[in-house]
Every structure is written in structure tokens, then in C-alpha cells.
Chains A and B, each alone.
Chain A
């Protein structure tokens, strides 16, 4: 989780990612950010996020995103 927060802060140092729950709907993360983010996550966590999972619900909060990463890495095993 801490690793993820670091990646997020790298993108937007000014945002408090631990509490924010409307990252996409609130316009904090642009589509540009999201793709950059996915590339970073795939590098760091060694997972592949499929297109079907790239929906606002999964990217609105750091927590939701972390849950997604965990789910995907479990499936991979």
C-alpha cells in the first residue's frame, strides 16, 4: 500500500491520497495520469491490469486501486 501511495504522490504531490475518494470523478486523475499510473503499477507490482478493470470505480481511491492490484495478483497465481 505504501508503495502505491508513493507512486501516486509522485504524480500529484499536492493531493492527500489516503483520504481522497473521488480521484477520477473529482478530476484529480486525468486519463493521462491513469495510463501513466498503470504503467508504473505494472512495473512496480509485476501485474497486468486488463482493460476491463480500468473503470472509475477502481481508480477513485488509493484503497480501491490497491484492492484491485491484490485481486489481480491473486488470480495470477
Chain B
């Protein structure tokens, strides 16, 4: 179910009253049922995969939990009778068994993810080789699987690390895994926060409802007025790398930056707003990402939950893992600087390769991920240089002008990297990108060029105003939450704002006959 479908709005219109009318005791069960309907509506096969994930993660988490308690009992029993070394051996034996359970469960779940994401590619390959029918193409789009797999596996890893106890009721884990607004385009959430909040009783609160409505409406506003409009031009530009070269690439970069931002943050606004309707707080996934002064800051502010997940469960564990430590020790003769850097470099590049692979199965995504990692490492190494520059010209570097420069530099840099996202092959992407420096064709861009992309000047004007509105809102947001300030002006004012948002969406939104209900871009992942 897409956010921009009548079915989704109808689903909400039924769910919300039912959720608040049933006795609080069974609220979470009702929500689970609605989740089940949502998942099944998207396809039975997807539902089967989700049940497998829930089942295996539940079983593994309970097994790990049981192994912890048995370990504690055994250690307590032999405390007086056995030596320290023997007790250590016992502990290691349990640890080994826990790791075995964990690895088996991870293999199943990442296996599903891998087959679904890469199945289409493998399918095409084998189809080309053996002439069989390509399989997996439909599966590749299975809704939200990257998101819920990561959330649920995160829960399992937390149990494995003994940070949280295993949930005893499998239905409660199922509720967390299948929570419908998260299935469309994330974010990745944590069981201790969202999973627990889903289980608590919630009462209806008119003010919260209004506030949630504002957030949802703003999400649709960004999505329908800006993202879906610009997507038409972006698609047209990406589809013809042979025609749109040179300065068109700069146009493409900027349009794509605006489009992706509006699409992804808009979708997350709707997700968080829907959570708020029900009284469930969902983690923020964006913090004005385009105001970042460096790529690594950008990645702390864009798709925050994915970055957090990778850091928590891959990057840190990997950089302090035994092989890494050994590697670090082994390279000590090359100097302390080198040996300390070995784990960081390897872990950074590996995480970014994985992040790339998470975003898509094409090799371009892998290159995109590695380049991101490389840029981050380079800027880390350049930090002392920057520091000296800051010391030498403190007046300049403290100025708004300099800050503006770093922000624009970051946006251009990340947009350049995203070019890889637009094209099917690495060669096309690089050739397009570098044509920007060799071909000067602003004349062609403005003489009919941008009009040939499926949008009229009116469309560009509307999208432009939309971008200005988003920018202005972000600027204001730095001084405090917007909705809080709207709410302070009273209920009537809030209702008016909500109606203005809805009205402008109805008139200027790109939807309806002739405009295909395009999927949220991130739905693919």
C-alpha cells in the first residue's frame, strides 16, 4: 500500500477510531491485526517472508536468553568447586553456543534479504545463461523488507549483547516487526523504544491528533507538490545519458537533491505522524541534512537510523574485533599512526560497501558507498589541516559566509556522489559526471532543454516555491520545533494551517489521472 493511495487513507480512517474505541488491554492486538491486513494486502509472499523473520528471530532470541540463564546457574553452582580457569572455559562454551544460534539466525534473515535484493539480478543472469524465466523480479520490491529485517535483527543483537531481555510473547515481537507505517520506507527502529511503545495503552488526545495531522499533511505536501513533480524531470534526465550531458548534469544533481529530500523526508514525516496519531513515538530519521558542513556530518543527519544501525552493529564491533586487533598489532612496525588507522580504515570501507549494497544491487551502489567512505576518511585525515586554517584565519572561518560555503560544498559533493544512483552502469555515471567539466551547454539547457523533461515552466515554478518553503521551514526550525510554535497560537490557528496544507496539496499536488502514483523513491530499498 503506498502512502499516496486511497486505500492507505481508508486504512487509517478505519484503524484510528477502532484503535481508540477498543479496550486498552487489547489495543496492541487490534494493531497487530491491522498490521497483518496491511502486510497481506501487499502480497502473501511478502507475508511469508515476514513470518519467517519473526519466527527465527523469536526462536533465536529465546534460545540465547536461555543460554544466558543456564550459564549463570551453572557458574553459580560451580563457583566454589571449580578453578577460575575451568569457570572461564564453561563461560566460553556457552558463548560459543550463543554465537552459533546467532549466526544461524542471521544467515537465514540476511539470506532472505540477499535473495530478494539480488534475486532479480541472479535471475536475469541465469535467464540469459540458460534461457529460463527470470525469477525474483517481483520479489525485489517486497515491501520494506530491508527496513524490518534490520530493525528485527537489531533486536536480536541487543538480546545477544544482553542489553535487553528476550521478549517472551512472539506476538509482541510480531507487532514490532510488522508495524505498518515503518514498512513503507522505514525508518529502522529499536525494540526497546518503538517496540515497547507499541505495547503500551494509548488514549485519544485531540491536541496530539492535530499535531500528528500537521506532520502528516506536511509530509504529503513535500511528496506530492515537490518530489513527485521533480521526479518526472529527474527520470527523464537519467533515462538519456546520451542526450543530457554537460550542464544538464548539474541541473540533474540539484533537482535530484531536492526531489530525494522531499520524497524521503516527506515519507518519514508521514510515518512519524501516523505513529503519533496512535500515540507511538518513532525515532527521527533526518535533522536538516542539507545544512551539514561535511559528508560525515551529513551522514549523521540523513537517514540517521541506518547510520546508527551500521555503527552500532557493524562498524564498532568490527573495528574492535579480534582479527582487527591482530591486524593492528601486526602492522605496529609500520608506526603507531598506521597501526591505529588499519582497523578504522578497514571498518569504514566495509561499512560503506555494505551501505551501498543495502541501497541497491547494481555495482554502481557499491562504488557509491565506497566513495562515501573514501571522502569521509580523507576529510578525517585533513582535519589537522583545517584546524590550522581555522587558527590562522579565525575571523573568516567563523563568518556566516564561510559556513554557507561549507554547506554548499557538502551538498554539491553528496549530489556528485549520487550521480551513481541515477545511472545503470558505472561508466555512464562517470562519463555523465565528467561531461559537466568538458561540455558547456547552458544555452541548450535554457533554450528548450529543461522544457523537454516533461515539466512545464509552471511546474518548475511550483516546485521552486515548494523548495523555498522547505528551506524557510528548515531555517526556522533551527530555532525550535515548528509545530510547537503553531500549536502555541491555539487550536483554531493549527486547524487553519492544516486546512491550508490540505488545500494546497489538493490543488498543486501532482496526483490523479495522468499522473501515475509514483512510488516513494525509498520504497525500492
Contact = CB atoms under 8 A, between A and B. Distances in A.
A54 B387 contact: no
Interface stretch (B174-182, B308-316, B416-424, B436-444): B308-316
Contacts of A34: 316
A29 to B, nearest CB: 11
Contacts, number: 49
Contact of A39 (B317, B321, B328, B377): B328
A55 B154 CA distance: 14
Contact of A36 (B162, B317, B321, B344): B344
A52 B296 contact: no
A63 to B, nearest CB: 21
Interface in A5-37: 13-14, 27, 30-32, 34-36
A55 B161 CA distance: 12
Contacts of B315: 31, 35
B319 interface: yes
B348 A32 contact: yes
Main secondary structure of the interface of B (DSSP, over half): helix
Given A30-B380, A40-B340, A51-B161, A35 B319 contact: yes
A36 B161 CA distance: 23
Contacts of B343: 35, 39
Contacts of A36: 340-341, 344
B320 interface: yes
Interface residues of B, number: 25
A30 B296 contact: yes
B340 A39 contact: yes
Interface in B66-105: none
A55 B312 contact: yes
Given A32-B348, A35-B343, A39-B340, A54 B316 contact: yes
A46 B248 CA distance: 56
Contacts of B497: none
Interface in B275-312: 296-297, 300, 311-312
B320 A38 contact: yes
A65 interface: no
B312 A38 contact: no
Contacts of A49: 320
Given A52-B161, A52-B163, A38 B387 contact: no
B403 to A, nearest CB: 14
Contacts of B347: 35
B171 interface: no
B300 A32 contact: no
Contacts of B319: 35, 38
B421 to A, nearest CB: 23
Nearest to A34: B316
Interface string A36-77: 101110000000111110110000000000000000000000
Contact of B320 (A13, A27, A54): A54
A55 to B, nearest CB: 7
A52 B317 CA distance: 8
A49 B162 CA distance: 15
Interface in B375-397: 376-377, 380, 387
A51 B380 contact: no
A52 B162 contact: yes
A52 B102 CA distance: 15
A34 to B, nearest CB: 7
B373 to A, nearest CB: 11
A36 to B, nearest CB: 6
Contacts of B163: 52
A23 B387 CA distance: 18
A43 to B, nearest CB: 9
Centre residue among A13, A32, A49 by max chain B CB count within 10 A: A32
B311 A51 contact: no
Contacts of B311: 31
B161 to A, nearest CB: 4
A77 B171 CA distance: 42
Contacts of B328: 39
Nearest to A55: B312
A51 B376 contact: no
A39 B345 CA distance: 13
B110 to A, nearest CB: 18
B336 to A, nearest CB: 9
Centre residue among B320, B377, B387 by max chain A CB count within 10 A: B320
Contacts of B297: 27
A38 B319 CA distance: 9
Contacts of B380: 30, 32
Centre residue among B163, B340, B343 by max chain A CB count within 10 A: B340
B361 to A, nearest CB: 26
A6 B182 CA distance: 44
Given A38-B320, A52-B162, A32 B387 contact: no
A32 B344 contact: yes
Contacts of A55: 312
A37 to B, nearest CB: 10
A38 B317 CA distance: 11
Contacts of A52: 161-163
Nearest to A30: B296
Nearest to B312: A55
B434 to A, nearest CB: 29
Given A35-B316, A35-B319, 12 more contacts: A13-B387, A27-B297, A30-B296, A32-B376, A35-B343, A36-B340, A38-B319, A39-B343, A50-B320, A51-B161, A51-B317, A54-B320
